[in-house]
Each structure stands twice: as C-alpha cells, then as structure tokens.
Structure 1
Amino acid sequence: MSESVPVLILTGYLGAGKTTVLNHLLATAHARIGVVINDFGDVNVDAALVAGQVAEPVSIAGGCLCCIDDPRQLDDALRALARPGLDLDAVVIEGSGLAEPPALIQLVLASEVPGIRFGGLVEAVAAAHVAHAESGGWDLEQHVKAAAVVLLTKSDIAPPEELARTRERILAANPHTTVLDAPHGAVDPALFFDAAKHTVPEGAQLPLWEIGEAPGEHGHHGHEHHVHHRAVSLDVPAAVDPAALADLLEDPPTSVHRVKAIADVATPSGLRRFVAHSVAGYVTVERARRPAGEPPHSVVVAIGPDDAASSPVDLGALPAAEGDPAPSSPQLRRLTRFL
C-alpha cells in the first residue's frame, strides 16, 4: 500500500514571506512537491513567482480558500495532485494573506480525496512587521494557535528585542508550536515530509535529507541558510505496544514537531503493520501491507529542531516485551481509532 501524501498549509499575513518560504522549499527539498496557490484577486501573481520550480502547480484564483463558494474547488486541485502517477512527496497550499488557519485546516481534514492527509500548518511571521500587520486587522495570537511551526521570516533584519518579544507572544498563545528563525525563508523540509525518498540508498529507512543547495544557486539570495533538525529513532526487530505508540503520537515531547512510525503490532489474528504520522497534535494512522512470513520489524522516528530546549525523547517503552500476549482490544483501539 502506498503512503498518503501530506498536505501542508502555508499561511501568513500579506508580505510575511510565504512565497519566499515556498520558493526556498521548492529549491532545496530534493523532492517532488505539488502546489496549490490561493491568489486573492484575478491575477495569479504568486503563481508567476514560483513558475518553473514547482513539479505540479494548481491555482485557485478569485478568493480566499476558507471562504470559497464551493469547497470542491480545493478537492479538485488535491485530486489532481494526489494521482498515483505523479508520486509526489508533498502538496503545499499557499493560503492568501486573508486566510483563517482553522478554516483552512477544516477544509483539508474534511476532504474526501483519497491518498492525502493533513501534514501541518506553517505560519510565516515577519517579526519586524507585526505591528504594521496588526494595525490592518491581522491577529498574531489567533493566527498562530493552530500552527505546527511558526517561521520568523526576515529575522536577519529584525531588531533582537522585536524578535524576542514576538517569540514570547507566539509561545504564550500556542505553547505546543515550534518557533524557528527563517532568514530568507529557509526551512528544513525534513520537519514536514521525507525529502528525496526516491533517491536514498537501497535499504535506508525514513530518509531525512539535509538541505544541500544554497538558495543562491537558484537566483534568490547569495547566502546559504541551513536550518538543521535532529532525529531520535527506534529501529527494532519487534512489534510495538499500540497504547505506548498512541501516547507518543498524541502527546509527543515539546521538542518534537513530527513523529513517523512504520510499526508492526501483534493482534489476535496475527501481526499487522501500520504507518502513523503525528504533526502538532494531528494524528493519522493507515494500514500497510506486510509481506507474508516476514518477521516483526518496527521503525519510529521523532523529529525536531536541534535548538529545541527539551529532554531527549524516550522511545524505550514502545517495543512490546518478548512473549507478551497480543494486546487487548482497548489497547489496540487506542491506535486504530486514528484509522
């Protein structure tokens, strides 16, 4: 069974640097990315800015995604991008500056397009321009409440005290988000999806690609900007405890932005394999095919920025003890309720 494609939502007020973030992601991710560009107005200006870099662009013009008359417009775009033949690593929806994040999230969560899953909301905030944006009606606290990651764009030109004040306000409004400096829109794609999954060496597990190309190589900026991540992984020839895995997915440590698991679980009818994802409190679980007769094998990776101040992630409780009976129905339901 092929994995579903993560759908990321990229939002921020007008001028916050969304398109710069998107261009950096497209130029450095070493991945196949589809894009839905939501332009407010009749002229697709943003579509022109990313032309030539995107694997499969789809544009919805004439309105904000959260208030379009027919939500099927978004479904049509996602359906076009979720075609198995495209084999995309991710889809990015660039919302207009007027988009309300909770409404955008609900549109993606309510989508009936097969083969996609919500991959997190990313909010771009230019700290030096927050006061100006708020004078126009934008609300920092409301817009970051649902964000998996908040990117402080243009952080290289913002006064240090303004950066610190903006960071404090964001974390007060959403203690579970990850706040990252993103000068020139630099962000590590490994925080959101498995970059370059098509080109890793045979046998490698869950590729985590380091940003390799400087934005200057694509004509954007003349300086390199690397945003590093750290990953804690568990790779064991064993089944996992479904309740322990559900706990990690539902309530990961504050330093963890994303959890991915390809896990075998013992059931009364035999071993079953699941692929699970957790991004900022949003959990998805899918069944996966297990080759007949293959011994149990589970891989779990927790990913977060390497500057996060938190204790290491403890994955020691995940493997089921050897000889344990199959988990009870309530234990198993803790995980399968996310299917």
Structure 2
Amino acid sequence: MPGSARIPVLILTGYLGAGKTTVLNRFLAASGARIGVIINDFGDVNVDAALVAGQVDEPVSVAGGCLCCISDPEQLDDAFKKLTRPDLRLDAIVIEGSGVAEPPALLRIVMDSRVPKIRFGGLIEVVDAAHVPQAEAAGWDLEQHVRAAAVVLLTKTDLVTDPEVRTALETRIQQANPHAMIIEAPHGVFDPALFVDASESDDLEFGQLALWNPGETLGEPKTEHDHTHHHHVHHQSVTVEHDGPVDPVALSEFALDPPDSVYRIKAIVDIVTSSGPRRFVVHSVAGYVTVDSMSRGKDEPLASSLVAIGLELDGADLQARLKAVCLPLTTPPATASQLRRLTRFRT
C-alpha cells in the first residue's frame, strides 16, 4: 500500500452489561474522528446498532452470531471492504464484539484479514469492576478475556468502595497479562486520543507529525491531568524529529517491545539503503507492528519523525530512547538483513 494510510481496527470486548456500548458511545461522541462501527449482535435483533447508529458515521451489523464463531470470515472482510472505501474517509473502525466473543479469536480474525487497507489498532477489554464475581459465576473468565487485551478499561469503579477489592482485581489482571494497560473509566469516560487520531493521514509532511498532539513540548509529555491510578488521565506524547535516517533494527526492536507506559508508536522514517533512501510509515500498538512503504521525492532531504503515545510517560527517558533510534547522515547504508528486520512487518 505505498503512499496510502491503513485504517486502524479497534476491537471492543467485554461481558454483557460491562459497559461496552457506553464506552463506544463515549468514544464516538468525544473523539471528533470519523468512525465506522461493526456491531456483532448475538441474536436476530439489532439492538446495539439502534443504540449507537445516531453517532456513527458508517455502521455495519454482523448479526446472528458471535464473530469468533462465524463460519465464513469473509463476512467480516466484506464489512472491512465497505468501510475502507476512500470516499468514507474514516479514521478508525471499531468492532463491538458480543458479550460471549473470545478476545483471542477476535484478534486472530482481524490479524488474518485479507483486506490490505486495514491494520490492527488494539484490543480493548471492558471490565465492570463492581460485578466481576457475578460475571464469573455466569461463566465469564477474567484471565482468558484480559490476556489478549492491550488495554483493560475498568468501568463502575465508583461503585467499588473497598480499595482491597480494586487492588485484588488489578493484581489478577496484571498477573494474567503483565503488558495490559489498566485504565479506570468509571462512567465509560476515557481519552480517545490514546487509541486513534482524528483525520490521521500518512501523507502528512514532516513537521506536521508533531502537530497531531498540539501544544506538546519536545521531551515534556503533553497532559491535562495527572491523577494516580490512571483516573481521568489524558494521553501524553513525546516526539522526536530528526534530520536524518533511522536504524531499522533499533526501530523494530523498540516498536516490538515499547515501555509499559507507551500504548502507541507512530513514525514516518527514512532509511538509507544501497539503492538509495527509502521512506516507511511505522505503527506499533502495544507491540503489534505494521509497516508500509511511502513515496518520497528524489532529491528530498533525509528526515524522520517519531511519536510515542501513552500514559504517565517519562519524557526524558523516552526522548533518549527515540533519539537512540536515529542515525547520523554519514551512516553507511543498511544491509539487506538489517532492512528486513523492519520490512518483515509489511504483510
């Protein structure tokens, strides 16, 4: 997909009554982005679609069963093809899974999709912090459902009056998935900018990349609140712009294993090869990496921009780590094996 932006697909899961639709509606109302929604109804009545259709730019219903159990995965690909039409200009696609959908299976379906215009944007598990015992008594498995999640949103935390209950829940989640980012969203309120950028385009010129998070200061993460427990915490970002190429091996390693506080990495980078400079667009969501080639002018100077987005970031440390990916102009061309360390994520 040279020169084209792929649309991130977010998977929103959680047991029935956990608050998925509330989270989705909050997300749609607050993001300012153009969102397409695939609503997976368990049954024949499209109830969830009725709840959100008024706020959705382009809703699609996959009715009659659980997405992770559909016999023909092409049904979901057909929905992706519809939502990736250029005229829709969508910034993201959200799949709201049914309450019985198994997150690992949903993730696998998206990752195995044959639609080239999408990329995985993260799996968000919604957990009703006040009613976990009741959900487990009904057969829901906390560990099974959070182990594939990039983010666990804890809803109804305002109803949990015993701090030991909350601590025990967070401990169980962390033990099941040490890499999951836990965010409190008592009323379904969270910062959507952590997940998607409004009107994102991979064709942005250099210098504009930093403007995706207006007002940030280099090395000092942008934030509007700073409370503990990630309660109403807004996203932060650290940007490094470099007048030169990057090391494809170092970038691939950083994208695969970002700091725990970093949810997303997005970058437009130049890499010097034996046949000349090449430009790539790199996205990493909780360690899931996608890479696309991007056109560049023949005589255009080398330049790279890297942005790390997350919660409670260590700005100085992140800036240093991002700068460590950058190379001087005099660096020899990357070898074929070094380049493959990054380009292997293009499929």
TM-score in terms of structure 1 length: 0.91
Query: Contact 1:195–1:208 (CA<8 Å) still a contact in 2?
Result: no
Structure 2 counterpart of 1:215: none
Which deviations, in whole Å up to 9, do the C-alpha atoms of 1:227-280 show, x marking residues without a partner? 401111111111111111011111111111111111111111111111111112
Q: Given the superposition, is the C-alpha separation of residues 311 and 320 from structure 1 closer, same or farther in structure 2, using an over 3 Å criterion?
A: closer
Aligned to 1:92: 94
1:237 to 234, 243, 256: 243
- What is the distance in 2 between the residues matched to 1:319 and 1:45? 50
Deviation at 1:122, TM superposition (A): 0.3
Structure 1 segment 291-310 matched on structure 2, within 5 A: 291-306=297-312
Distance, in Å, in 1 between the alignment partners of 2:214 and 2:31 is 8
Report the alpha carbon displacement of residue 184 of structure 1 after superposing the two structures with TM.
1.3
* TM-superposed deviation, 1:282: 1.0
1:164 maps to 167
Letter in 1 for 2:104: P
The question of 1:175 aligning with 2:178 is answered yes
Q: Which residue of structure 2 aligns with residue 137 of structure 1?
A: 139
1:276 and 2:282 are equivalent in the alignment: yes
Q: How many positions carry a matched residue from both structures?
A: 322
Q: Which residue of 62, 73, 85 maps to 1:83? A: 85
Among 33, 58, 61, the alignment partner of 2:35 is 33
Tell me, yes or no, if the aligned pair for 1:171 and 1:177 is still in contact at 8 Å. yes
Q: CA RMSD in A?
A: 1.9
Q: Which amino acid aligns with 1:41?
A: G
Q: How does 1:286-325 map to 2 (within 5 A)?
A: 286-306=292-312, 312-313=317-318, 314-325=321-332
1:222 aligns to what?
A: none
Q: Contact (CA 8 Å) 1:276, 1:285: kept in 2 or not?
A: yes
**1:261 paired residue among 246, 267, 270:** 267
**Structure 1 residues 98-140: Cα deviation after superposition (integer angstroms, max 9, x where no partner):** 0001110111111111210111100000111111000011110
Q: For residues 316 and 71 of structure 2, what CA distance do their matches in structure 1 show?
A: 46
SS at match of 2:254: helix
Find the residue that maps to 2:284 and give its secondary structure. Answer: strand
Q: Name the SS for the 2:95 alignment partner.
A: strand
Query: Unpaired runs of 5+ in structure 1?
Result: 211-224
Task: Determine helix, strand or coil for the equivalent of 1:257.
Answer: strand
What letter is aligned with 2:188? G
Residues in 2 aligned to 1:7 and 1:18: alpha-carbon distance in whole angstroms: 16
Change in CA separation of 1:62 and 1:71 when aligned onto 2, cut-off 3 Å: same
Indicate the residue corresponding to 2:338 in structure 1. 331
Q: Deviations over 1:169-223 (max 9, x none)?
A: 101111111000012111222222212448xx9963251379xxxxxxxxxxxxx
After superposition, residues 135-214 of structure 1 pair within 5 angstroms as: 135-159=137-161, 160-197=163-200, 204-206=208-210, 207-208=212-213
User: 1:292: Cα distance to partner?
Assistant: 2.5
Give the corresponding residue for 2:107: 105
Instruction: Name the SS for the 2:132 alignment partner.
Output: helix
What is the match of residue 47 of structure 1? 49
Q: Is the 8 A contact 2:184 2:232 kept in 1?
A: no
Supply the distance in 2 between the matched residues of 1:187 and 1:82 (Cα, whole angstroms): 26
Over residues 256-315 of structure 1, what are the superposed CA-to-partner deviations in whole Å (9 max), with x where a residue is unaligned? 111111111111111111111111221111111112311111111111112x68983221
Which residue matches 2:223? none
On the 8 A contact 1:194/1:209 being kept in 2, the answer is no
The whole-number CA distance in structure 2 between the counterparts of 1:312 and 1:191 is 20
